[in-house]
Amino acid sequence: MNKGYIRADRVADLLKEEISQMLCKEVKDPHIGFITITDVEVSKDLHMAKVFYTILGDEPQRSESSDALQRVSPFIKRQLGKRLKMRYIPDILFRYDHSLDYVSKIDTLLNQLKNTNELDTPKK
């Protein structure tokens, strides 16, 4: 077994898969929009899991979805307890993943810079 792949990483991968499936198929809250789980970080003692997500929509929709995710987190933890053979199910904290927003902003800036350079470059 690869010693670099610690138990917390394996648990994080498992939680990511299970939570993604639950949000798609079982959670019926209409306030949760089109959501994607991007990453899960589990503490080394396996007592805390930060679940990072992205969601389509503007800021009010994100805020509404964030509130809804906090409301359904006890349900998700209970379901994980039923599905997974673990002594302790980590507490779930949902966090919005801003990295895709950052990538989008950088891409927009690079495109603007490219368009500006094309306008400034004399044609031969």
Q: For the residues of 10-38, what is the DSSP string, one character each?
A: HHHHHHHHHHHHHHHHT---TT--SEEEE
Q: All domains of the chain, ordered by start, with CATH?
A: 7-97 (3.30.300.20)
Specify whether the CB–CB gap between 33 and 75 falls below 8 A. no
**pTM of the predicted model, to two decimals?**
0.75
* pLDDT (0 to 100) of residue 12: 94
pLDDT tens digit at each of 124 positions of the chain:
455 568 889 999 999 999 999 998 888 888 887 889 999 999 999 999 999 998 887 888 888 988 999 999 999 999 999 998 888 999 999 999 887 766 777 877 888 877 777 666 666 5
Specify whether the CB–CB gap between 89 and 81 falls below 8 A. yes
The C-alpha atoms of residue 91 and residue 18 are separated, in whole angstroms, by 14
